[in-house]
Each structure stands twice: as C-alpha cells, then as structure tokens.
C-alpha cells in the first residue's frame, strides 16, 4: 500500500514557520521588510512584552488589493517575482512568499490594509492559520499588521523564548539594521509605549548612526565613497581610535538589505590592519550597491546570508576603498602643537 502523501497546507505552513519565525524579532523583520517593499516612507513598530504579547507594524505603503488579501497568506504567494529567471534579478527584500503564511500559522494575526485613498480597507483575522474574519472596514492607504500571542499554539517553541529584555534586544537589532539600510524611511520602535528608536527618514545615514550609537560615535565616522565597474560603496567607518570589543557594530548592507558576511568583515578589518588594537573592532555601516545578478540572496529563508559571484574582486575592492580612506585621514602627519 502506498504511504506517501502530500501534507495539507496547514501543516506545511507550521513546518515552514519553524524556519522563518524563530522568535519575535523574526516577525518584526518580515513585516518591516514587507513594509519597505511596499514603498513606505513611514514604518511604525509597536511591541508589547518583548514582542511575545503583541507586535504591530503600521506602514504607509501601497497596501494590498482587496482581491489579494487572502491570497497573500497562501504559501509561496508573492507579488514580487513571477519567473524562475527573476531569482537572479531580485530587487525586493522579500520574494519567497513564506512570511505571512508562516507567521499566521503560529500566532493570531489581524491585518487592516488598503491600496486606495478612498477610506475603504479590508480587515482579516487569522488564528493559528485558520481564517476567522474577512470583511470591509475603514482605513487609510497602507497596511496595519498586528501579531498577537506568537507561538501560542506551538508550546515547545514558546518555551525556548528568552526574557523580555533578550527578545527586545533582538527586535532593536532588527530595527537598527532596517534604519541603517533605509535612511530614507522614517522608523519608530516603541516597546510598551516607550520610544526606543526614532529616525527622521530624510536620507541622512549619519543621523541614523547617531540615533543608534550616539552622537559622539557619529562624530568619529569617516565617509566612504568609491566606485568600480561592478560596485559602488558608501556609508561610514570609524576612526581607528573609536573601537568596540566585538564585531556586532560592523554592518554591511547590500542593495538595501542588511547581510552577514564574514568575507566582507575580514576585508574591512584587513584595511585597518595594524591601526586597530588587538581584539578591537571598528564601527562600520557600509552600503554596497551592485547589479542584483552579482549577489545571490536565495541562500537561507532568513535571507541574512548571501553569496557573491565575484567574491574575491568584491573583497579586494572593499579592502582597497577602506584602506585608501583611512590612509588619507589617519596617516596624514598630525601637526605637533607647540606648548
């Protein structure tokens, strides 16, 4: 007797949720990425109790068409790519169509969205992946997404959540990365009503750095600017005097996406070479731009890792650009003050 059967959508979503939704910060990341992809200029995030009780993301983006609201929660449903070849040309943060079904499978979701200026919106409520309500409602253009009681129906996962402070720390990190990747968007993060991050959205990356790391850190930054045939590099790196004890403050952003890449970090550290004390790391917010075909973001569901098609060239370019900047700024002999 044949025993193999295709799992129903509900179970499949719960399985996928295990990969996409690791903790509250993963929900924040996915929802904010969707808001960015929707062309928002404002994104407000409110979380309660480290996101374990509720996460709400309000954007002023293009909204979801009434006919798409339910479809958006289907697995592999996306408006961002259509063809296999699009995978080599990704310009949006999302493309896998996994976030909404995964989040909805393990929480209680309420979505209010409108793609028009007429005050007409759609409201949908889904609990544990099951549709509860789908109705007309009043609402402005944009999307207002609330996720309550994350992991309420997966107690084994819930048990692994850490303290509210730890979860909040992860959420703040996600928001910092989003803000650094998109200085042209005004972000706020509120926790239990307290504002933890607020950016202006005026495109000034240095202001965002000041909001995250403080004004004195921002003052120690040197502006990067270089271009090669394939790559453009921008952002800021700190003077070697201003260092930190871990590499968490080395952020690399590729085409508007925060990524973790060991090789890029090593290239930057090589550029500092002997300028850094041992076991100290610079503050870096590096923005790289390249043709989407030069970077593969389809490596892992969280899309934090990427692969480069010409990785050695890229690393060499990064090292060279940072080194040149540091040499210009640091090695210029300082005038000795006479007392």
Tell me: does residue 99 bind Mg ion (CB under 5 A): yes
Judged by CB under 5 A, the chain residues 28 through 67 that form the site for Mg ion are 34
Half-sphere exposure of 337 (CA within 13 A, CB side): 1
Residue 94 or 282: the one with the smaller Cβ distance to Mg ion is 94
Q: What are phi and psi of 310, to 5 degrees?
A: -125, 65
Q: Of the listed pieces 59-67, 200-208, 213-221, 234-242, which binds ligand ADP according to CB under 6 A?
A: 59-67
Q: Contact at 8 Å (CB) between 61 and 38? A: yes
**How many residues of this chain interact with ligand ADP, rule: CB under 6 A?**
22
Residue 94 or 301: the one with the smaller Cβ distance to Mg ion is 94
Q: What are phi and psi of 183, to 5 degrees?
A: -65, -15
| Whole-number Å distance between alpha carbons of 289 and 221 | 20
Structure tokens given for 337: 């003050």
Q: For helices 164-181 and 205-213, give the axis angle rounded to 10 degrees.
A: 160
Least distance from ligand ADP to the Cβ atom of residue 115, Å: 8
Q: Find the binder of ligand ADP among 29, 46, 96, 170 (CB under 6 A).
A: 96
Residue 80 binds what, of ligand ADP, Mg ion, none (CB under 5 to 8 Å, by partner type)? ligand ADP
Structure tokens given for 5: 């059967």
**Mask: binding to ligand ADP, 218-257, rule CB under 6 A, as x and -?**
----------------------------------------
Q: Of the listed pieces 4-12, 33-41, 227-235, 320-328, which binds ligand ADP according to CB under 6 A?
A: 33-41
Residue 99 or 264: the one with the smaller Cβ distance to Mg ion is 99
Q: DSSP letter string over 93-131?
A: S--S--HHHHHHHTSEEEEEEESSSSSEEEEEEEETTEE
Element (DSSP H or E) covering residue 188: strand 186-191
Residue 34 or 188: the one with the smaller Cβ distance to Mg ion is 34
Which residue's Cβ lies closest to ligand ADP? 94
Q: Helix (H, G, I), strand (E, B), or coil: what is residue 197?
A: strand
Q: Contact at 8 Å (CB) between 326 and 272? A: yes
Q: Helix (H, G, I), strand (E, B), or coil: what is residue 44?
A: strand
Q: Of the listed pieces 91-99, 198-206, 235-243, 330-338, which binds ligand ADP according to CB under 6 A?
A: 91-99
Q: Find the binder of ligand ADP among 14, 95, 171, 180 (CB under 6 A).
A: 95
Least distance from ligand ADP to the Cβ atom of residue 67, Å: 12
Tell me: does residue 321 bind ligand ADP (CB under 6 A): no
Q: DSSP letter string over 277-336?
A: PTT-EE-EEEEEEE-GGGEE-TTSTT----EETTHHHHHHHHHHHHHHHHHHHHSSPPPP
Tell me: does residue 13 bind ligand ADP (CB under 6 A): no
Q: Find the binder of ligand ADP among 38, 121, 150, 185 (CB under 6 A).
A: 38
Binding site for Mg ion (CB under 5 A): 34, 94, 99
Binding site for ligand ADP (CB under 6 A): 30, 34-35, 38, 59, 61-64, 72, 77-80, 94-100, 143
């Amino acid at each position: 007797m044949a025993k193999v059967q295709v799992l129903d959508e509900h179970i499949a979503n719960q399985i996928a949720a295990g990969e996409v939704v690791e903790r509250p910060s993963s929900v924040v990341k996915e929802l904010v990425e969707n808001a960015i992809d929707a062309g928002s200029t404002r994104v407000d995030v409110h979380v309660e109790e480290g996101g374990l009780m509720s996460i709400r993301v309000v954007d002023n983006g293009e909204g979801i068409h009434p006919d798409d609201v339910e479809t958006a929660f289907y697995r592999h449903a996306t408006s961002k790519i259509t063809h296999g070849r699009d995978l080599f040309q990704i310009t949006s943060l999302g493309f896998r169509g996994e976030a909404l079904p995964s989040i909805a499978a393990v929480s209680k979701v309420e979505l209010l969205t409108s793609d028009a200026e007429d005050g007409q919106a759609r409201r949908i409520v889904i609990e544990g992946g099951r549709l509860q309500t789908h109705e007309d409602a009043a609402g402005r253009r944009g999307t207002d997404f609330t996720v309550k009681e994350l992991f309420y129906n997966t107690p084994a996962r819930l048990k692994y959540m850490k303290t509210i402070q730890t979860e909040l720390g992860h959420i703040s990190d996600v928001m910092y990365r989003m803000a650094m990747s998109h200085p042209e968007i005004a972000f706020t993060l509120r926790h239990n009503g307290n504002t933890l991050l607020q950016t202006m959205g005026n495109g000034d990356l240095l202001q965002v750095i000041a909001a995250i790391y403080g004004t004195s850190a921002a003052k120690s930054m040197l502006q990067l600017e270089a271009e090669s045939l394939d790559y453009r590099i921008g952002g800021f790196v700190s003077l070697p005097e201003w260092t930190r004890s871990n590499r968490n403050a080395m952020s690399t952003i590729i085409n508007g996406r925060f990524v973790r890449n060991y090789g890029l970090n090593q290239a930057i550290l090589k550029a500092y070479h002997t300028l850094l004390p041992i076991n100290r790391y610079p503050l870096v917010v590096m923005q790289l731009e390249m043709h989407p075909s030069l970077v593969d973001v389809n490596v892992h569901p969280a899309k934090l890792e990427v692969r480069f098609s010409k990785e050695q060239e890229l690393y060499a370019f990064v090292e060279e650009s940072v080194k040149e900047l540091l040499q210009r700024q640091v090695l210029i002999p300082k005038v000795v003050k006479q007392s």
